[in-house]
Every structure is written in C-alpha cells, then in structure tokens.
A and B are shown apart, each in its own frame.
Chain A
Amino acid sequence: AQKITQTQPGMFVQEKEAVTLDCTYDTSDQSYGLFWYKQPSSGEMIFLIYQGSYDEQNATEGRYSLNFQKARKSANLVISASQLGDSAMYFCAMSRWEETSGSRLTFGEGTQLTVNP
C-alpha cells in the first residue's frame, strides 16, 4: 500500500520569501509518480507539479520546484518568491506507474500555507 505523510499541518511565510513544504512517502513499488496540488479556500484542486520516480532531474514549473530525494523517500515542494495568492492548502500525492489507464492518487493530509504581507 502507498502512504503519504505531510508532517506540517500549517506553515507561515513572508511575502517574497521561499518556503518548503515537506512530503515523505512509503511504497514498495519501483515505479511511481509524485504530485503536488493546491486547494485555495474556494475549494478547487489545482495541479502544480509532477515527478516520476525514474526522473533524474527535479521537476520545475515556474515558481514551483520539487525536491525529489528517492533514497530518503521525500518529495518536498519549494515555492520561491511567495505571493499572497499562494495562501492555500497544499496536498502531496502519489500514484502507481500504469501502462495505459492511468492510476488513482493517494493523498497526504495537506499543509495549510499562509503568506503574510
């Protein structure tokens, strides 16, 4: 079974600073995917970034980067130059590696990020 652990229920950061949201995972699979999603107070789930277990380079999407350390089974999200609009709940998730149909995600409990002006 797959398990995602997010140990920070809440995080605070000053506007324009960088912040790291922690995520560790547990799986016996050799192949898997790691994802981060953002959920603002309005409720929608927004896909941010993806990392495959065989990807050697850390994924980057704009101000988001995923610090992937396979041996430590961690997939931390780094947000650079925080903005007020980054205040939201952030979920780490993982999937099994599927050949065709795609795979459901297992989510962590989330980290509530607050960006202070």
Chain B
Amino acid sequence: DSGVTQTPKHLITATGQRVTLRCSPRSGDLSVYWYQQSLDQGLQFLIQYYNGEERAKGNILERFSAQQFPDLHSELNLSSLELGDSALYFCASSVGANSPLHFGNGTRLTVT
C-alpha cells in the first residue's frame, strides 16, 4: 500500500460529460502529481501541485483542470469528455526534493 488514495477506482461515463477524480496524498507529502496512462501515449505527466500551488504543467488539455486544497488533497476535473480520454489516471505524491513518487492505484476512466 503506497499510502496514496484515489477515488473512484472505476468511472464509466458518456462523451460530453464532466467527471472529478480525487486524490489524497501520503501523510506528510506536499507534492501531488497527475499522470495519464493510455495504450498509445504511455505514461504522460499532466500537472504538479506543491503545497497548494501549481508547480509544473505537462501535456494537460484545456478541458482538464486540477487543484490542490489546503488539506493537500487534490482533484482532477475532466470536462467535455471524448472517447480518447479513456485511460488510467494516476495520482502520485512525494515528500519533496529528489524523493520517489508514490502512486495511487489509479482511476480507470471509460468514456462511451
């Protein structure tokens, strides 16, 4: 158990809808990262938050947004969903500099 909690585990929704993925980092970890894993794109970094502030942005679509709350949990919002957004979405956390990322079990999103 990595200590990172992601909910829900599975999500099935229709095109055009909006969903929210939730992540609770490990106790003491200030950084939260979101990754998307798909068969054709591999593991793609989306966005990083550190202590509530956006720290780095990767290949995140404009239809996607995220935030980190004062209690350090984070949410990833995906809107106007398309079939191609179907993927495994991971949240990870780290304590800080030069430390490994610990991943949650992921949310498997299926857009129909």
- Chain A residues with CB under 8 Å of B55's CB are 101
- Chain B residues with CB under 8 Å of A47's CB are 2, 100-103
Shortest C-beta distance, A77 to chain B (Å), equals 14
Instruction: Check B100–A50 contact: CB distance below 8 A.
Output: yes
Instruction: Check B31–A43 contact: CB distance below 8 A.
Output: no
- Chain A residues with CB under 8 Å of B33's CB are 104-105
- Chain A residues with CB under 8 Å of B90's CB are 45
Interface check A98, CB cutoff 8 A:
yes
Instruction: Check B96–A100 contact: CB distance below 8 A.
Output: yes
Interface check B11, CB cutoff 8 A:
no
| CB-CB nearest in chain A for B98 | A33
- Residue in A97, A99, A104 whose Cβ sees the most chain B Cβ within 10 Å: A104
Tell me the complex Cα distance, A52–B100, Å.
Answer: 11
Instruction: Check B96–A43 contact: CB distance below 8 A.
Output: no
| CB-CB nearest in chain B for A99 | B97
Instruction: Check B98–A52 contact: CB distance below 8 A.
Output: yes
Task: List A residues 58-99 near B (Cβ within 8 Å).
Answer: 91, 95, 97-99
- Chain B residues with CB under 8 Å of A98's CB are 96-98
| CB-CB nearest in chain B for A48 | B100
Tell me the complex Cα distance, A8–B95, Å.
Answer: 32
| CB-CB nearest in chain A for B58 | A104
Instruction: Check B106–A109 contact: CB distance below 8 A.
Output: no
- Chain B residues with CB under 8 Å of A45's CB are 90, 92, 103, 106
Instruction: Check B97–A44 contact: CB distance below 8 A.
Output: no
Q: Do A43 and B108 form a contact, CB below 8 Å, given A91-B43, A104-B56, A105-B45?
A: yes
Q: Do A101 and B31 form a contact, CB below 8 Å, given A43-B105, A45-B90?
A: yes
| CB-CB nearest in chain B for A107 | B43
Instruction: Check A102–B94 contact: CB distance below 8 A.
Output: yes
Which A residues form the contact surface with B (CB < 8 A)?
A: 33, 35, 37, 43-47, 50, 52, 91, 95, 97-107, 109-110
